[in-house]
């Protein structure tokens, strides 16, 4: 069902949710469960598109680590995300998924997945329950701003295939996403619309992203797409905090990407913002101490090449060996002291983050200081915000989805209370 195209606002009896991703649908569910008539509007031809895309490689819904460690993943915003997770954390999320008829399991990394590893069955079951509760969904409705409202009503303007449509509601939940993956609906176009209404918003920045490196043409042609395994990355944030994490990443055509890079993307990005570029260090032998590496490199190699020596003594071969040659001078490669130091801390200069539209998520958005504890905007009473459009970030691993759902729940409960439900 869709609102008729009109220049006169159609006053809806309940609440409007703008954005059909996880946060918006969760807000709709909470309101509908409390007797509120809910209309969900989304710009795309169907809802949950980014949710489905994120689940293509295996739907990671949350993480099983202890609550304190879980909350710490939200960094500078842990103090604001923590209370949301107190109400709807990882255990509550799993119970909610089970209530939809979807079983889950904990993987070896501690990540939690649906048994079928797919997002589509979960979304289908969820949408069925929402329809049964009376939630109405309107697709191909792109929100283009507010219109004058009266007597506590918020006028809303939408662009549709049939022209412009105006509706009005007393309570509105905005769940418009961040700025990544614009083709799936998250394009950040809402930023100036809220800023014009006096809402304090932080600029959107890339998060969980890759970074550009000035690879030589030969290295790029030979190693783009190669994984770098059993490695650690070190980076120093602008505030002096030293980050060091082990895992694996991938050499890309433009630089580096992959899970280990994403996990450290916030301090790397912040260093680039502060200094114009970032220098990380690669530990190519994280299982050995610096003294052990130095001793192995210093062993006489006889007629063997440096590459053969490193392979036999330290198991450094393939892309790891080529990384050393890509960064170090010929003289340093033949200097045992310099070579050993580089194996444990190879400096790699990162030029910039990848463009926002390519990244997994974004930081920035509506500042928590612009809202109350129910996520209602101080500048627009009756308008609530949820999901990735809020100013927070988290690594991949289920933390993004958990906080989106938790914030959607809080916003939905807040809107229901605002309406007296």
Q: 89-106, pLDDT tens digit by residue?
A: 999 999 999 999 999 999
pLDDT at 8 over 90: no
* Helix, strand, coil percentages in the chain from 3-state DSSP, rounded to 5: 40, 25, 35
Contact of 409 with 88, CB cutoff 8 Å = yes
The mean predicted confidence, pLDDT, of the chain is 93
From the list 394, 400, 360, the residue with the least C-alpha distance to 60 is 400
Per residue in 344-367, pLDDT (tens digit) is 999 999 999 999 989 999 999 999
Please, is 100 exposed, middle or buried when counting C-beta atoms within 10 Å of its C-beta (0-12, 13-18, 19+)? middle
Rounded Cα distance between 281 and 303, Å, is 30
Distances (CA, A) of 234 to 224, 244, 345: 22, 4, 8
Helix (H) or strand (E) holding 304: none
Angle (deg, nearest 10), helices 22-33 and 399-418: 40
Strand partners, 202: 365
Domain ranges of the chain: 10-206+362-419, 211-353
The superfamily CATH assigns to domain 10-206+362-419 is FAD/NAD(P)-binding domain (3.50.50.60)
End-to-end CA distance of the chain: 24
Other residues' Cβ atoms within 10 Å of the Cβ of residue 31: 29
Q: Would you state the pLDDT for residue 9?
A: 67
Identify the band that residue 181 occupies on the pLDDT scale cut at 50, 70 and 90.
confident
Angle between helices 22-33 and 120-132 (to 10 degrees): 30
Q: Where are the beta strands (DSSP E) in 29-186?
A: 38-41, 62-63, 104-106, 111-114, 136-138, 142-147, 154-160, 163-169, 171-174
Give the model's pLDDT for residue 7.
Answer: 53
Q: Is the pLDDT of residue 1 over 90?
A: no
Number of alpha carbons in the 13 Å side-chain half-sphere of residue 96: 21
Q: How far is residue 382's CA from residue 414's CA, in Å, rounded to a whole number? A: 9
Q: Of residues 403 and 239, which shows the higher confidence score?
A: 403
Closest CA to 213 of 320, 323, 307, 331: 323
For the segment 379-411, what is each residue's pLDDT rounded down to a tens digit? Answer: 999 999 999 999 999 998 999 999 999 999 999
Nearest CA among 135, 208, 207 for reference residue 364: 207
- Kindly tell me if the per-residue pLDDT of 156 is higher than 60: yes
Give per-residue pLDDT as tens, 104-131: 999 988 999 999 999 999 999 999 999 9
């Amino acid at each position: 069902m869709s609102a008729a195209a009109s220049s006169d606002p159609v006053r809806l009896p309940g609440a409007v949710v703008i954005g059909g991703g996880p946060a918006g649908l969760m807000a709709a569910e909470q309101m509908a469960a409390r007797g509120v008539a809910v209309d969900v509007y989304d710009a795309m031809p169907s809802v949950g598109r980014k949710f489905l895309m994120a689940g293509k490689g295996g739907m990671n819904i949350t993480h099983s680590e202890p609550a304190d460690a879980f909350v710490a993943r939200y960094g500078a915003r842990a103090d604001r995300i923590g209370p949301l997770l107190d109400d709807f954390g990882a255990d509550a999320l799993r119970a909610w998924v089970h209530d939809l008829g979807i079983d889950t399991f904990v993987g070896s990394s501690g990540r939690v997945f649906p048994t079928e590893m797919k997002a589509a069955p979960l979304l289908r079951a969820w949408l069925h329950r929402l329809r049964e509760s009376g939630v109405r969904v309107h697709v191909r409705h792109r929100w283009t701003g507010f219109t004058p409202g009266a007597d506590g009503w918020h006028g809303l303007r939408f662009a549709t295939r049939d022209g412009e449509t105006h509706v009005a509601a007393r309570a509105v939940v905005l769940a418009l996403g961040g700025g990544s993956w614009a083709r799936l609906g998250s394009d950040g176009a809402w930023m100036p619309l809220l800023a014009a209404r006096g809402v304090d918003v932080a600029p959107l920045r890339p998060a969980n992203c890759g970074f550009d490196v000035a690879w030589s043409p030969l290295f790029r042609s030979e190693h783009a797409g190669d994984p770098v395994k059993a490695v650690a990355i070190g980076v120093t944030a602008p505030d002096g905090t030293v980050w060091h994490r082990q895992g694996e990443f991938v050499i890309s055509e433009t630089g580096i990407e992959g899970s280990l890079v994403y996990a450290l993307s916030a301090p790397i990005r912040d260093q680039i913002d502060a200094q114009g570029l970032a220098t990380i260090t690669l530990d190519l032998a994280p299982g050995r101490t610096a003294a052990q590496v130095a001793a192995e490199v210093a062993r006489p190699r006889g007629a063997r090449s440096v590459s053969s020596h490193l392979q036999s003594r330290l198991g450094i071969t393939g892309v790891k060996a080529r990384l050393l040659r890509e960064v170090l001078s010929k003289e340093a490669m033949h200097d045992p002291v310099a070579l050993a130091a580089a194996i444990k801390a190879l400096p790699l200069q990162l030029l910039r983050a990848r463009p926002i539209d390519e990244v997994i998520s974004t930081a920035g958005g509506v500042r928590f200081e612009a809202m109350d504890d129910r996520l209602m905007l101080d500048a627009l009473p009756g308008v609530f915000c949820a999901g990735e459009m809020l100013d927070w970030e988290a690594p991949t691993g289920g933390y993004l989805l958990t906080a989106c759902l938790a914030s959607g729940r809080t916003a939905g409960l807040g809107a229901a209370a605002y309406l007296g439900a």
